[in-house]
Chain A
């Protein structure tokens, strides 16, 4: 339905309603289309007046729709009126109404009322992140940074994940302020980005840069740059943190991989105890390896070639410089077949160690174990993103460690045998006190989760 352009009289509304197929939901449908077309608020008012005169009452869902329209157009006095009506009419409101009210009021000079509403919401449930976002933005817009940070911390304490918009608004509204306390809080946000491996987008990055450069007497300068493969920043010549885990992190991760990925709830799901034990003794006797290869994954790189030839190419390519190789496969590879020729398999076994798992076992779990057991220098080859194994890990901290380790140790082959190198440096927000390096996403929203941004913001203090 097309909403009318001018307020209508009761008779005119009546006519429209009669023409409509389902008169019971006429008001709802009409208000929905008003919201869509952003109709003048007077039109909606005339509809409500008609409704009120006919029924002597207006249903809650219709009021909510009207409120949505008011919020959309920033009609503050109307929002207040609707709130007054709702407050006396209903004992309590539900989350949708609170969200709307908070959003509407936080953008006006009545923003403090949004804060009292937030308090009210807290009594019945955990407020949504949009509620917090509105309030924090309103507070920081009015230079009440302390209040804004209080809300932010409260949000984190309740496990509500802040939007990037909230974080950005802190930097936007703190520009040019000289306040040591505030500075510490903002550094805290950057560390939050680091801990959660969040990458800011381009506009957010610009806000960060502008804030740094605006600190009075701070002498900070920011430059956009690309980091070399060696991990050195071309602007300040500083070496970025390397991707290796600390000894403690490393042992923690390998322990967790064995516990959660290989054994899980039932060792029999991925392998069997006998097989795993056999594999463990096999690996212990031949340690350490330099590169561990997922044989079956690599053998599928080129679909036109025979599978064992693909593997043969990969092994030859990696066997240079006396690297110790381990190839993981399944027993069916040993059967002479059109894809697996026994002669080629024999030849490969001279160049690398092979372990063949049962056909129904998961070889990926063995891949992880062998690589971790060999030590920090060891890398592994597969095109698999290993997401299912990451998902087996029970807590987010270990999952993050896994991703970091994976970035630093996985070699991925594309269809022609060009190796994509494992990253030598770690791709997170990092600082040395007088420098900050912040990776950012070039495009506003799109980045695959396995991709790491290549562009960096380098900030140094002169």
Chain B
């Protein structure tokens, strides 16, 4: 009987047999399948022509017919510890249900998933993996397309067989690297120091540390490419810390050859205290000009959980001067926190050093966070901004109208 079922299932799936034949045969072969209730049949007959009667429960038979086959397929699976395997199953079912779940998941990721303390943490982690997977997939697709295009272009080039002549020397990337390194080496001896304070590892989650390192890598590369680089110091840097491991992941062998100073000493031990300025968004003091004789300190911290005042506390403890960027003075701030990413900070500081032009430097503040530069007195602009916001949100509109009526009384 079972063999017959499997066979039939296969036949049904390949849909060789006409529908009428399946219908007739299966009624006999499947005692399980439910018959239609009488009332349903009657309703059916009213709505359709009698010649083409619709069997509404047909789908159930089809679903049940394909069963045995499926079950035997799923038995053969790589052995895994039972709880991991169960988690993998659940994930698979979630994916089938259309949730944001990655298609492939490694054992390590699965363990992280199971260690998540709450349901929402699990959901978040899965979504993160899912999006990461989508990005990877997209990148791969784009790469393939690019390669194809390049091959096509090459083919065309060989066909036309044209040789280009140019009077300029072709600068390969390694030549450029040499120039950059030369500059960076010079900055190691003559450049203005810039300190990254690497003492925030305890304050951050693993994801935050990873993001921090990514931002620092970006900052370092843009520093290297600038005309007059800073001499970068990583202070309070502990060997074998999470920072260290992440840096090695990014730089590999190049980590040892980087033209920066890495030390486990504190900046107060290396530099005179009165020359240090700690940059933090929480500082009550606003930076007016970029001072070429001072040593600026940037806290290497990504703060996703809003820990206000952590870096200010550090500066207070050491009795250092602090400063914040004059964002309010030059920009009409709209949304977002005033703390910027480390690479944005680096761009801003480099531009300030080269040009001392605040407007040019603050171009690097993300556009979404502000509505442009201040050209009128701030108060006036604030008023228009508030007006725009209230009109946009339709909130407090009456209040605005009332204010208007007060300012322009009817005679």
Q: How far is the CA of A85 from the CA of B70 in the complex (A)?
A: 13
**Interface assignment of A151: CB less than 8 Å from any CB of chain B:** no
B97 touches A57 (CB 8 A): no
Q: What residues of B have a CB within 8 angstroms of the CB of A124 in the complex?
A: 86, 90
Q: What residues of A have a CB within 8 angstroms of the CB of B34 in the complex?
A: 81
Contact with B along A262-273 (1 / 0, CB 8 A): 000010111010
Q: What residues of A have a CB within 8 angstroms of the CB of B309 in the complex?
A: 269-270
CB distance from A420 to the nearest CB of B (A): 24
B90 touches A92 (CB 8 A): yes
CB distance from A155 to the nearest CB of B (A): 15
Chain A residues 108-167 with CB under 8 Å of chain B are 124-126
**Interface assignment of B58: CB less than 8 Å from any CB of chain A:** yes
**Interface assignment of B38: CB less than 8 Å from any CB of chain A:** no
CB nearest neighbor in B for A92:
B89
**Interface assignment of B15: CB less than 8 Å from any CB of chain A:** yes
SS class of chain B's interface: helix, strand, loop or mixed? helix
**Interface assignment of B367: CB less than 8 Å from any CB of chain A:** no
Q: What residues of A have a CB within 8 angstroms of the CB of B312 in the complex?
A: 268-269, 360
Q: What residues of A have a CB within 8 angstroms of the CB of B313 in the complex?
A: 266, 268-269
Contact with A along B59-81 (1 / 0, CB 8 A): 11011101100110010000000
Chain A residues 56-114 with CB under 8 Å of chain B are 56-61, 64, 81, 85, 88-97
Assuming the contacts A52-B62, A52-B63, asked whether A94 and B90 have C-beta atoms less than 8 A apart, the reply is: yes
**Interface assignment of A453: CB less than 8 Å from any CB of chain B:** no
B54 touches A56 (CB 8 A): no
Contact with A along B304-323 (1 / 0, CB 8 A): 00001110111011000000
**Interface assignment of B256: CB less than 8 Å from any CB of chain A:** no
A42 touches B40 (CB 8 A): yes
Q: How far is the CA of A315 from the CA of B95 in the complex (A)?
A: 64
**Interface assignment of B48: CB less than 8 Å from any CB of chain A:** yes
Q: What residues of B have a CB within 8 angstroms of the CB of A46 in the complex?
A: 54, 56
Q: What residues of B have a CB within 8 angstroms of the CB of A359 in the complex?
A: 284
Q: What residues of A have a CB within 8 angstroms of the CB of B308 in the complex?
A: 269
Q: How far is the CA of A268 from the CA of B13 in the complex (A)?
A: 71
A7 touches B56 (CB 8 A): yes
**Interface assignment of B271: CB less than 8 Å from any CB of chain A:** no
A56 touches B15 (CB 8 A): yes
Other than the known A6-B47, A42-B40, A52-B59, what 19 A-B pairs have Cβ atoms closer than 8 Å?
A: A28-B98, A45-B56, A45-B57, A49-B55, A49-B57, A49-B58, A53-B59, A56-B12, A57-B63, A81-B60, A85-B60, A88-B71, A92-B89, A92-B90, A97-B97, A266-B313, A268-B312, A269-B310, A269-B313
What are 20 inter-chain pairs, A to B, with CB distance below 8 A?
A7-B44, A7-B47, A7-B48, A9-B54, A42-B40, A46-B54, A49-B56, A52-B63, A56-B12, A58-B63, A60-B96, A89-B66, A89-B67, A89-B70, A91-B74, A91-B89, A94-B97, A95-B94, A97-B93, A126-B119
